[in-house]
Amino acid sequence: MSVGGKNANMSCSLLCFLLSFSAMLAHAGAEVHFHEFIVQATPMKRLCRTHNIITVNGRYPGPTLAVRNGDTLVVNVVNRAKYNVTLHWHGVRQMRTAWADGPEFVTQCPIRPGGSYRYRFRIEEQEGTMWWHAHSSWLRATVHGALIVYPKRGSSYPFPHPNTEFPVILGEWWNEDPVQVIRRATRSGAAPNISDAFTINGQPGDLYKCSRK
């Protein structure tokens, strides 16, 4: 082999090493976050009425997930409800992980009652407040929560650093099972019944009767 050929091979090897090293540096400091979501029926009282709604970990809204740009999120979903369910990570760019996107019968089969599924994906070059929600029937009415992506460590905010922060989640409340609401609408061809209240972080406004009960 000529000297020129050897130099070319060495340059190619060095370039591959530098690219690999750069990729390692890019992932340095990134974390893997593990969560378990139990999808289940939970008695919940709003507007002076109590009925079972489908929740994650017994909470409405569901847990707020907080990660950083570059982190990996792993969520093990166990379905103990009576309905099929999938979860969608709204706003997340699924780079080479389309099977974690969540639309029922599009990127995955639904998680059947008694089944489980593990979502794993990396947040790549994204920051901001997004949300996750069920992507089966109308389960998203009660199965949802915030997904907050902070900048990488050492990165500065494009605005003054907030002293405190909390997510604000706008939703709706039905005094019955939302899945049955949409099923009746589908059978009749009519629009679904409107909700009984709008909610902020799961609570109806003060102008509703029994807003705090």
* pLDDT class of 1 with cuts at 50, 70, 90: low
Most confident of 24-38, 59-73, 199-213: 59-73
The tally of domains found in the chain comes to 1
Residue 152 has pLDDT above 70, yes or no: yes
The pair of three-digit structure tokens given for residue 123, joined into one six-digit string:
């947040």
Measured in whole angstroms, how far is the alpha carbon of residue 24 from the centre of its chain? 27
Which of the four pLDDT bands, split at 50, 70 and 90, describes residue 210? Answer: confident
In a domain, 165, yes or no: no
Backbone angles phi, psi at 98, to 5 degrees: -60, -30
Convert the pLDDT of each residue in 163-188 to its tens digit. 888 999 999 999 999 999 989 998 99
Structure tokens at 118: 């593990």
- Asked, for residue 54, whether it belongs to a domain, the answer is yes
CB hemisphere CA count around 45 (13 angstroms) = 5
With respect to residue 213, please indicate whether it lies within any of the assigned structural domains.
no
Amino acid letter for position 148? I
Closest to 202 measured CA to CA, from 146, 128, 136: 146
Decide if 170 is inside a domain: no
Q: Is 42 among the domain residues?
A: yes
> Distance between CA atoms of 146 and 133, rounded to whole angstroms?
9
pTM recorded for the entire structure: 0.82
Rounded to the nearest integer, the mean pLDDT of the chain is: 87
Distance between CA atoms of residues 27 and 30, nearest Å: 6
Q: Mean pLDDT throughout 46-72?
A: 95
- The answer as to whether 187 is a domain residue is no
Judge whether 26 and 122 are in contact, CB under 8 Å: no
Share of the chain above pLDDT 70, in %: 86
Collapse the DSSP code of 184 into the 3-class scheme (helix H, G, I; strand E, B; otherwise coil) and give the result.
helix
Instruction: Say how far apart CA 29 and CA 198 lie, in whole Å.
Output: 41
Phi, then psi, of 119 in degrees rounded to 5:
-95, 135
Task: Show the domain range for 89.
Answer: 32-155
Residue 118 lies in a domain: yes
Peptide bond into 103 cis (omega under 30): no
Is the pLDDT higher at 66 or at 191?
66
- CATH number, domain of 43, equals 2.60.40.420
pLDDT of residue 12: 54
Q: Is residue 75 part of a domain?
A: yes
